[in-house]
Amino acid sequence: MTDAVSSGGTSPRPPGPELRAADADRERVAEVLRDALAEGRLDMEEFEERLDATYKARTYGELAPITRDLPVGQVAVPRVDMLKRPEPDGSWASRIVGGEGSSTWAVAVMSGFQRRGRWTVPRRFNCFAFWGGGELDLREANFADGEVEINCVAIMGGVQVIVPPGVEVVVRGIGIMGGFDHAEQGVPGEPGAPRVVVTGFAFWGGVGVERKVTRAERQRLREERRQQRLDRREAVRELKESVRDDVRDAHRRMIGGHHDMMRDRRRRSED
């Protein structure tokens, strides 16, 4: 995707590919590769080669070619903004942004579609899957309204809707020799969180709804568990050192007491 033309009529110079990539960037590329393997776009040998290159990559310039020939796989080099801007606070209120939404429909006919990352869910999103599949990931999305409707039509295909924890889900779809997943319905939402209504029709197909934490949150929890393991190891190490010091002190006191006793015996014998 090209950058929009600036008011002066010339395209802004894209940021250099020499920018260092973060672990989260490598994980996003690995996710695209796993999807491509599941869809049959890559065989196992190609997947392993590209995955190995992904985790060895140090810059965006090294990451970009890995997914260039895969759908939704281009690694965009982030634009570096030299102005200090306030960061979103991550609250639900900051994620209900109004507007029309960045995407309002998707179609998969013997193919697939995805909506994920930072996109704005419109008040009504329509999608159609025929002998294909689609994924709507709302974990990092903004919402055009406090209640959004996702209308899914799946005919011999499937659509997967992924919502973050805290969002209320209502499922109103109809299935004929197919079905809609109601497992997440009835879970109360957090105060101020949007409401996601899943409607539509499934014939020899299915619409699934699952609740997952974001990749960033999953990474944070992983790092938290790792830090807890390190803290436990450090506490055990300090305890062992403390025990060793206590044993050494007790041994030194015992040796010192023995020497004092021997000196007393020598004095008494000399007297």
29-38: pLDDT as tens digits: 887 887 787 6
Please determine, for residue 27, whether its predicted confidence score (pLDDT) is greater than 70: yes
Confidence of residue 172 (pLDDT cuts 50, 70, 90): very high
Distance from CA of residue 249 to its chain's centroid? Answer: 51
| Res 85: pLDDT | 44
- Compare 166 and 87 and report the one with higher pLDDT: 166
| Res 114: pLDDT | 92
Nearest alpha carbon to residue 144 among 100, 105, 106: 100
Mean pLDDT of 145-173: 95
Maximum C-alpha span of the chain? 111
Please determine, for residue 101, whether its predicted confidence score (pLDDT) is greater than 60: yes
Q: Which range scores top for mean pLDDT: 9-13, 23-27, 109-113, 126-130?
A: 126-130
Please determine, for residue 244, whether its predicted confidence score (pLDDT) is greater than 60: yes
- Compare 140 and 71 and report the one with higher pLDDT: 140
Please determine, for residue 65, whether its predicted confidence score (pLDDT) is greater than 90: no
- State how far the Cα of 198 lies from the Cα of 138, in Å rounded to an integer: 13
- Compare 271 and 105 and report the one with higher pLDDT: 105
- State how far the Cα of 21 lies from the Cα of 55, in Å rounded to an integer: 10
Mean pLDDT over all residues of the chain?
Answer: 80
The pTM of the full predicted model, rounded to 2 decimals, is 0.52
| Res 223: pLDDT | 72
Strands (E), 21-167: 105-109, 112-115, 120-121, 124-130, 133-137, 142-143, 147-155, 158-163
- Compare 165 and 81 and report the one with higher pLDDT: 165
Quickly list H helices, the chain. 23-38, 44-56, 60-63, 92-95, 215-270
Please determine, for residue 213, whether its predicted confidence score (pLDDT) is greater than 70: yes
Mean pLDDT of 37-58: 82
Confidence of residue 74 (pLDDT cuts 50, 70, 90): very low
- State how far the Cα of 223 lies from the Cα of 226, in Å rounded to an integer: 5
